[in-house]
Amino acid sequence: MASKDMFLSQSIQKPSQLRKILRELDKVEDTISEHRIRGDDQAWDINLSFSLDELIKNNDLKITNREDFNNLKNFLKDLQTNGKVLHFSFNQSASEMILNKLIEWLRKNIDPNVLVTTGLNNSLGVGFILRSTNKYFDFSLGSILRDKRELLVKKISEAN
C-alpha cells in the first residue's frame, strides 16, 4: 500500500498525538528488531496503544511487515513535517464531542489527514478564531457586528 493511500484514524487529532504515535513506532521497531536478531519466528505479542492499533487496522497494515511498517512511518513523518494543522481559539474549552464532530467534518470536507490544535481566547464572546499556516479567520460575533456596522445602525435607526 502506498503511503498516499493511508489516512489517520479518528483518535489521532492533534500534532502531539502524532508525535506520541511516532515515538511508539520507534519502540515497536526496536522490539521487532530484537525478535529478529534472536531468531524468534513465533508470533510476537506487541502491546500497541489504542490509537496506533486503530491506525494499523483502518489502513489494513501488518506491523511486522517491513514494507507496511516503513510506509506507515514515512507517512506519519511526512504528516509531521508537511501536514495541515488548523488552530481553533474558543472562549471556553471545547468538549470532546464537539472536537470529534469538528475533526470528522474537517477530514470529510477539507483534508482526510488534517490535525487540530485548540486554545482559549477570553476576548471572544461568541464564535471562534481559526488560524492555519498562512490564513487567519475571525468568526466571532464581534467581528460579524463590526463588518455589518452600517446595516446594524441603519436597522436600529429605522426601528426608532
Query: 142-153: per-residue pLDDT in tens?
Result: 887 787 778 878
Q: Is 74 found in the same domain as 132? A: no
Using CA atoms, how far residue 149 sits from 87, 142, 144, in Å, is: 28, 10, 8
Q: Is 98 found in the same domain as 65? A: no
**Residue 3 is assigned to a structural domain of this protein:** no
Domain that residue 70 falls in: 12-82
Q: What is this structure's pTM?
A: 0.78
Name the percent of the chain lying above pLDDT 90: 46
Helix (H) or strand (E) holding 56: helix 50-58
Alpha carbon 20 to its chain centroid, in Å, reads 12
**Residue 4 is assigned to a structural domain of this protein:** no
Evaluate if residue 95 carries a pLDDT over 80. yes
Question: Which among 64, 82, 100 is the end of a domain?
Answer: 82
Report the pLDDT value the prediction gives residue 44, as an integer from 0 to 100. 63
Question: Which among 82, 108, 129 is the end of a domain?
Answer: 82
Question: Which among 25, 57, 82 is the end of a domain?
Answer: 82
Evaluate if residue 40 carries a pLDDT over 90. no
Alpha carbon 112 to its chain centroid, in Å, reads 9
Cα separation, 109 vs 3, whole angstroms: 20
Q: Is 91 found in the same domain as 147? A: yes
The length of the chain in residues reads 160
User: Residues near 116 by Cβ (< 8 Å), separated by ≥ 6?
Assistant: 13, 14, 85, 86, 87, 88, 99, 102, 103, 106
Evaluate if residue 129 carries a pLDDT over 70. yes
Q: Is 154 found in the same domain as 90? A: yes
**Residue 2 is assigned to a structural domain of this protein:** no
Evaluate if residue 21 carries a pLDDT over 80. yes
Evaluate if residue 101 carries a pLDDT over 50. yes
